[in-house]
Amino acid sequence: TACAAAYLTPKITTYLDSFRKGFDSNLSKVPLTFMKSDGGLAPVGDFGGHQAILSGPAGGVVGYAKTTPSRPVIGFDMGGTSTDVSRYDGHWEHVFETVTAGVAIQAPQLDIHTVAAGGGSRLFLRQGLLVVGPESARAHPGPVCYRKNGYLAVTDANAVLGRVIPEYFPSIFGPNEDEPLDVQGARVAFQQLLQTAEEHLDGKSVEELAYGFLQVANEAMCRPIRNLTQMRGFDIRTHTLACFGGAGPQHACAIAKALGMTKVFVHRYGGVLSAYGLSMADAVHEEQEPAAEVYSTPEGGVNTDIADREARMTHLAERATEQLVKQGYKKEEIVTEQYLNMRYDGTDNAIMIQETPETTYGDAFHSQYMREFGFDLVGRNILVDDYRVRAVVPGETPAAPKAVEPLGPPPPRGTARAYFENGWEDVSVYKEEDLKPGHEISGPSIIVQDIATVVLEIGCNAIVTADGDLDITVAAAEEVNEEDEYGEIIIKEDPVKLSIFSHRFMGIAEQMGRTLQRTAISVNMKERLDFSCALFTSDGGLVANAPHIPVHLGAMQSAVKFQTEYWNSEGREGIQEGDVFVSNHPQLAGGSHLPDITVITPVFHKGEIIFFVASRGHHADIGGIAPGSMPPHSTCLEDEGAMIVGFKLVRNGQFQEEGITKILMEPGKREGSSGTRNLRDNLSDLRAQVAANNSGIRLLGELVQEYGLKTVQAYMHFIQKNAELSVRHMLKEFAKKNGSTAHAIDFMDDGSPIELTVTIDKETGSAVFDFTGTGPQVRGNHNAPPAVTYSAVIYSLRSMVAQDIPLNQGCLAPIEFIIPEYTLLNPSSDAGVVGGNVVTSQRVVDVVLGAFRACAASQGCMNNLTFGNEKFGYYETIAGGSGAGPTWEGRSGVHTHCTNTRITDPEILERRYPVLLRQFALRHGSGGRGAHKGGEGVIREIEPLQPLVMSMLSERRVLHPYGLEGGEPGACGRNLLVKKGGIVVNMGGRCSGTLDVGERLLIETPGGGGYGAVVE
């Protein structure tokens, strides 16, 4: 946030100075306020760059919130390059940390979600998939129909389909900006696309292709709306869709239909609603103070002194009010809103709770926590992290519109031909100035406003309100008749539906992940996001894996297939509805390493299993010989914690707490080992994984209800086939340029080789990945089960395909694996493997990418740190440098390849654990030099505040990350112990020991390799 403010504020200040110089006295006597991202106005002297990042969309939120008559509302702001969605239910929904363009900002902002789909989003056909964006045609050259040699975009699709009528547009296009929209040019561009991809489009017409792209664009915009509502426990069907932005009214009715919404509201100033909202915004000043107080205890006592709390709130309110008075507002105009930032002890997700006359802070916290997370935490203190007061001078709010008498349909200006789901339709065209309050218009039809075009879809009916706005009722979509759907039908692959289902399947996996993040307790899952969620076919084939943790990709499929075979084998009880399975055994049950526990739920339909859903999460401790269950010196699997081959975590709908507790405490029966040190978190996170699976089942059920079971199952297989074709195409292209064989070898720090020979069939795109030559399994823990190698390969192939393809089993369909038994990559069932998942997997990726000459080596390690004692265990992975490539510099201080977890925030780390974070910085000079430089590693220095066992499991401490094509290698990492007297001891790549108070662990992570020879 500080960096963003330092970069943006001077630029904004320079602009504002220039703006004011255009007026008399530099506007010194005129109040000048600016919209902030939180929806409030601030004076020019109190306006920082970090507060302005979403100020434009925030104006739109204020606009629809104050003008849409019904609640709750979804805001749908579609412009040229992106679409912003938000929600309003009578209260502003603020968030206090967001990521915009990859930059994390901690400042109050309205909760606005952005997706890269707008009128200027470019259209592509890639391996049979229709793709919309994220690339944009921009204002210049713009879409094809702008007559500037532009790119095929969403606006071209609307023009070709008659949804944009050129005669109602000004003639401002072409090189001289004096020509009308070029519909014919857009049509020719679609015809050219058809000709280049005839084999995928099965005789589609230009109109069918253009309409298909609109459907895909609409589905891309539906995803964030589903996430904003369903993910947080709201029923999307109860909301009104308030659309604005230049392109929003063209798509709003179709999107409402797709989401099952029945109401759409189009404001008369919808094309400029952000500016209109700015005129009605509140003047706001906030004051906030940190706190570290216990609000209440499990026994029901309120610990925070009420008088003291009221005094602090009064003090903050007076300060905030004083600031607004200084800006020229009257004290009697100002209202204050008081908030406590509250959380449960042992969790890190605080909720900002507003005081209301009807309820206490505590009751409001319980209620909101239950709605947000689906459960309540019994027996924990409620803590207060912050006091916050928001002083507000309310802006203008329009009066509620009066009821109108129906007038029937207005006279149309003319007719036009437009394309809808049933094909071409003759539609009436209306001009906004001809409409009077009470006029009723039925779809399909088109309404031309001065600043937007409104497309009424089939089954939609609009009435003009007293203010001239459009209140639209949307007909419910027809549901698929399951009985008809079970007839003898052959479902043919359609590229439009293929693209839509690709979005839907991935959206379900993503929502499962968000449910898991919301409902989990541990830092590992809630903060570091060390989990993955996925959907599978009834035979266990991976369909969609949200891009959470790459090393989980192939391994989850193996786990699902194993459980299916295990429970259906002779002597087992089979699989019943209401069962949920849990496993983690790497060699026997398709796991990655023991801390990664997989929860698998079968999805039943009419008594038969139709799908599986699964979630895999890293549990911070599951027992074993070291806190954190990542022992650097383990020599067998038993050292590493509890082992689960197969257990019914839920049986007949009942959570088996006693049984899973017994399994997790089992390692404590071995001498020198312990049962889990975090049982409460284990149980809570397992329940969260079950809840995530249940959300996936619900969403899959809605998908089946919408499209029919056979269609959904068919497109699961079509999606897998599409990924397979993409990988085959990439392999054939590589073979054409580089020959049919590729080879690479790299070494672990102990000298163990990992060798790969790839043999590609140039005709079919099939390939053999032969790991013969890889060293024998080791008496250590960096052995890797085959599932980890599958994951590393599927990740590498997915990365080398130059387009966005689904992550599923189709990526591995062209690949035959040869992994000799009892080697480092295929060890015996009792071998230690905890390091294979986190260090050897990275080396396998380096070997695969090296064989294909794709890029230089990245840091090649996850730098696994664990610390704790007999009461707790903590685990984190630490970033490093990424390798450079033919056209890019390596990124510094990032996770690479097989993991992409977050580091724990310093404040959370120090608040929850007895440690002090001394240093966390980039390690300058660690990236390999080259024409493109490798990324820098990091330095992380931690000091215990009480004696703690600290352990490091790491690689690339001996052998450097390689450079490529003349690039220099990256620097090796180091794990250093800084003793009390200042003596520095190199601990080696795998180390464990007790650190006393005053000692420090200093970790320097490797840099990435450089690419290309250094140019002096």
Higher confidence at residue 160 or residue 203?
A: 160
Provide the residue type at 139 as one letter.
A
| 1000's tokens | 């420090």
Residue among 599, 603, 622 nearest 612 (CA): 603
**Mean pLDDT calculated for residue range 291-302:** 78
**Mean pLDDT calculated for residue range 112-139:** 82
CA dihedral 650, 656, 662, 665 (to 10 degrees): 70
Check pLDDT > 90 for residue 462: yes
pLDDT band for position 2 (cuts 50, 70, 90): confident
Check pLDDT > 90 for residue 174: no
**Mean pLDDT calculated for residue range 261-283:** 88
Predicted confidence at residue 740, as pLDDT, reads: 93
| 238's tokens | 């109860």
Q: Which of 45-59, 441-455, 557-571, 860-874 has the lowest mean pLDDT?
A: 45-59
Distance of alpha carbon 1005 from alpha carbon 881, whole angstroms: 8
Report how far apart, in Å, the C-alpha atoms of 293 and of each of 147, 257, 319, 347, 780 are. 64, 48, 22, 15, 46
What are the helix (H) ranges across 801-857? 841-851
Instruction: Report the predicted TM-score, pTM, of the whole model to 2 decimal places.
Output: 0.74
Helix (H) / strand (E) element for 913: namely: none
Q: Tokens 């369903």 appear where?
A: 230
pLDDT band for position 185 (cuts 50, 70, 90): very high
DSSP letters, 104-171, are EE-S-EE--EEES-STTEEEEEETTEEEEEEEE-TTTT-BGGGSSS-B-BHHHHHHHTTSS-GGGS-S
The DSSP call for residue 448 is: E
pLDDT band for position 303 (cuts 50, 70, 90): low
| pLDDT per position as a tens digit, 750-792 | 999 999 999 999 999 999 999 999 999 999 889 998 888 988 8
Pairing status of strand 335-344 against strand 351-354: antiparallel
**Mean pLDDT calculated for residue range 455-478:** 88
**Mean pLDDT calculated for residue range 229-239:** 78
pLDDT band for position 445 (cuts 50, 70, 90): very high
In degrees, rounded to 5, the angle at the alpha carbon of residue 106 between the alpha carbons of residues 101 and 112 is: 55
| pLDDT per position as a tens digit, 680-721 | 889 989 988 998 999 899 889 888 988 888 999 998 998 888
| pLDDT per position as a tens digit, 322-378 | 988 888 888 888 999 899 999 888 776 678 888 788 888 888 888 887 766 666 777
Check pLDDT > 90 for residue 30: no
| pLDDT per position as a tens digit, 849-869 | 999 999 999 999 999 898 988
Distance of alpha carbon 401 from alpha carbon 180, whole angstroms: 37
